């Protein structure tokens, strides 16, 4: 199970660390895929608050890399949490993940339903109190019933939040995004589908992307540090480990639950 989930855990590789820095006086905390684990998010945010007390920077930025919902059973509660004011003294940036996109697309097109539901959507339905009609399964009628029920249960504030999520964020030499970027395409010309869905073409690339890409999306047992990217999705919904990358000056380190 563990090896199937963390398919890219290949053991240690001798690689050079990324050579980048964030603006002076800034400390960035980037949080990987949450997937409905509010318990882990709260625990990690407590660690972040405590960490900031140590040589407190002039500016502290929290970047959440998307996939707040699905797989875990507290998807609705995670969105409620993110709609509250940011941690005191922190700037906050919440990026869009492919699972937020899944839900939004399903509310417009039932054909998205079967793939979404088997990839964590069922747990999100449960968090909103929406039952899947067992007798109808993935029929057109059943999916339409689920869609209508979900439309009635998802608060407008949740839809507005997910619909307005930016795709990327920059801090100094670092570029934050959910999944990654298409190699060979300028950062500013990337397509949304790649930014929230790309895997192998990006993960296997050794070329420079013009910035060091910080991403989630692909679960790994340990954070993946490469010269051109840092991956921090440690499969929190299954592993119990939610990871945060801390960037300050030219240094980087990790916090986790």
**Which residue range(s) make up the domain with 87?**
2-7+26-256
Question: Residue 12 falls within a domain, yes or no?
Answer: no
Question: Residue 191 falls within a domain, yes or no?
Answer: yes
CA 132 to chain centre: 26
Tokens of 6: 């963390």
Contact 213, 65 (CB under 8 A): no
The pLDDT tens digits for 218-252 are 999 999 999 999 999 999 999 999 999 999 999 99
Contact 126, 153 (CB under 8 A): no
Rounded Cα–Cα distance for residues 33 and 232 (Å): 8
Mean pLDDT over the full length of the chain: 93
Question: Residue 21 falls within a domain, yes or no?
Answer: no
Q: What is the CATH number of the domain that holds 59?
A: 3.60.21.10
Question: Residue 90 falls within a domain, yes or no?
Answer: yes
Question: Residue 179 falls within a domain, yes or no?
Answer: yes
Structural domain count of the chain: 1
Question: Residue 14 falls within a domain, yes or no?
Answer: no
pLDDT value of residue 2: 37
Q: Could you give the strand order of the β-sheet that contains 168-171, starting from the edge strand earlier in sequence?
A: 168-171, 174-177, 212-215, 229-231, 224-226
Rounded Cα–Cα distance for residues 69 and 98 (Å): 10
Terminus-to-terminus CA distance in the chain, angstroms? 21
The pLDDT tens digits for 82-141 are 999 999 999 999 999 999 999 999 999 999 999 999 999 999 999 999 988 777 778 999
β-strands 59-64, 90-94: how paired? Answer: parallel
* pLDDT(11) > 70: no
Question: Residue 20 falls within a domain, yes or no?
Answer: no
The pLDDT tens digits for 154-174 are 999 999 999 999 999 999 999
Return left, alpha or beta for 37; rule: phi > 0 is left, psi -120 to 50 is alpha, else beta: beta
* pLDDT(151) > 50: yes
Question: Residue 19 falls within a domain, yes or no?
Answer: no
pLDDT value of residue 15: 59
Q: What are phi and psi of 85, to 5 degrees?
A: -55, 150
């Amino acid at each position: 199970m563990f090896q199937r989930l963390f398919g890219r855990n290949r053991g240690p590789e001798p690689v050079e660390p990324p050579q980048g820095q964030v603006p002076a006086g800034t400390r960035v905390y980037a949080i990987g895929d949450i997937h409905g684990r509010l318990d882990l998010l709260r625990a990690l945010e407590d660690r972040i608050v405590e960490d900031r007390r140590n040589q407190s920077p002039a500016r502290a930025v929290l970047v959440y890399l998307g996939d707040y919902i699905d797989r875990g059973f507290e998807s609705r509660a995670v969105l409620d949490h993110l709609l509250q004011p940011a941690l005191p003294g922190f700037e906050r940036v919440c990026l869009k993940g492919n699972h937020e996109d899944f839900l939004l697309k399903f509310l417009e097109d039932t054909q998205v339903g079967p793939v979404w539901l088997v990839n964590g959507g069922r747990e999100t339905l449960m968090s909103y109190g929406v039952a899947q009609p067992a007798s109808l399964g993935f029929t057109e009628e059943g999916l339409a019933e689920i869609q209508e029920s979900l439309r009635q249960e998802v608060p407008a504030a949740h839809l507005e939040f997910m619909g307005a999520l930016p795709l990327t964020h920059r801090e100094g030499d670092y570029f934050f995004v959910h999944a990654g970027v298409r190699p060979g395409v300028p950062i500013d010309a990337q397509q949304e589908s790649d930014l929230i869905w790309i895997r192998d073409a990006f993960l296997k690339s050794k070329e420079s992307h013009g910035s060091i890409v910080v991403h989630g999306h692909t679960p790994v047992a340990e954070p993946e540090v490469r010269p051109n990217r840092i991956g921090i999705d440690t499969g929190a919904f299954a592993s119990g480990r939610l990871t945060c990358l801390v960037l300050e000056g030219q240094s980087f380190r990790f916090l986790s639950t």
